[in-house]
């Protein structure tokens, strides 16, 4: 086990709604990254937070936003849900310098989001 | 932007046969990581390679990083049913992120 937890496990929403997904990182891991994994694809980087500030973003629109809190928890918020947002959302925490590309990523179990 | 391609997409092998998956990046990488995802699970870190030409072994798994730091491979010797899953490479370059390949789904037939 990685010590990274996510909630909820599964979620069903309708198009246009908003959703908040939660992640609890390993204690001491000051970097958290969020990924979207569509069925049959590799995880796609959404963004990364280091010490409560966003310090890297992938090719995702502004309706994907996040927060990181001092207690090693974080959130991913998605507004105006679209059908294509249906995917497994993974958070991953890492230990070092805020450069997730260079750190081992400890993934949580993910939240399966279905948008109808 | 940086792209990481992985082949093959699927591989079926008989238990005991060898397996190799290949990873190619459109740009030079600072490092490459390999992950395994079991069906219904999440990616689990296997290894990180940093140096040009680096080779690392973990029991039956051998990982290589190309001399130009643009390609990598994972080779499994004498596959077992416990090796079933999808293997992803993930590279990082100048951007502060990991770019994952699309993965190779390995099926091991008993």
Q: Give pLDDT tens digits for B8-57.
A: 999 999 999 999 999 999 999 999 999 999 999 999 999 999 999 999 99
Tell me, what's the pLDDT at B2? 80
Distance from CA of A100 to the nearest CA of B (A): 6
Tell me, what's the pLDDT at A62? 97
Which residue is closest to A90 within chain B, CA to CA? B42
Test the B interface: residue of A9, A38, A43, A99 with most B CBs within 10 Å: A43
Contacts of B100 in chain A (CB under 8 A): 35, 42-45
Q: Give the one of B88, B93, B98 whose C-beta lies nearest to A100's C-beta.
A: B98
Question: What does each C-alpha distance from B105 to A41, A58, B18, B84, B108 come to in angstroms?
Answer: 10, 25, 14, 8, 10
Distance from CA of A43 to the nearest CA of B (A): 6
Check if B27 contacts A (Cβ < 8 Å): no
Decide if B74 contacts B11 (C-beta within 8 A): no
pLDDT beyond 80 at A46:
yes
When pLDDT is cut at 50, 70 and 90, the band that residue B101 belongs to is very high
What gap in Å lies between CA A34 and CA A40, rounded to an integer? 18
Contact check, Cβ <8 Å, A42/B33: no
Tell me, what's the pLDDT at B58? 96
pLDDT beyond 90 at B95:
no
Tell me, what's the pLDDT at B92? 86
pLDDT beyond 70 at A81:
yes
Exposed/middle/buried for B47, CB within 10 Å: 0-12, 13-18, 19+?
middle
pLDDT beyond 90 at B96:
no
Check if B79 contacts A (Cβ < 8 Å): no
pLDDT beyond 60 at B90:
yes
Contact check, Cβ <8 Å, B92/A102: yes
pLDDT beyond 70 at A96:
no
What gap in Å lies between CA B71 and CA B86, rounded to an integer? 18
């Amino acid at each position: 086990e990685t010590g990274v937890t996510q909630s909820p496990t599964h979620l069903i929403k309708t198009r246009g709604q908003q959703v908040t997904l939660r992640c609890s990182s390993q204690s001491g891991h000051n970097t958290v990254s969020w990924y979207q994994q569509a069925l049959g694809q590799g995880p796609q980087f959404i963004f990364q937070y280091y010490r409560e500030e966003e310090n890297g973003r992938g090719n995702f629109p502004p309706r994907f936003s996040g927060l990181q809190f001092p207690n090693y928890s974080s959130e991913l918020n998605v507004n105006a849900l679209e059908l294509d947002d249906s995917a497994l959302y993974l958070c991953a925490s890492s230990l070092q310098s805020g450069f997730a590309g260079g750190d081992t990523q400890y993934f949580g179990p993910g939240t399966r989001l279905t948008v109808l | 932007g940086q792209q990481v391609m992985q082949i093959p997409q699927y591989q079926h092998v008989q238990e005991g046969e060898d397996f190799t998956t290949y990873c190619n990046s459109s740009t030079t990488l600072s490092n490459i990581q390999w992950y395994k995802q079991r069906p219904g699970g999440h990616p689990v870190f296997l290894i990180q390679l940093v140096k040009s030409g680096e080779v690392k072994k973990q029991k039956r798994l051998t990982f290589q990083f190309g001399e130009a730091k643009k390609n990598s491979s994972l080779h499994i010797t004498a596959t077992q049913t416990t090796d079933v899953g999808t293997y992803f490479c993930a590279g990082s370059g100048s951007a502060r992120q990991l770019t994952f390949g699309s993965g190779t789904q390995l099926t091991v037939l008993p």
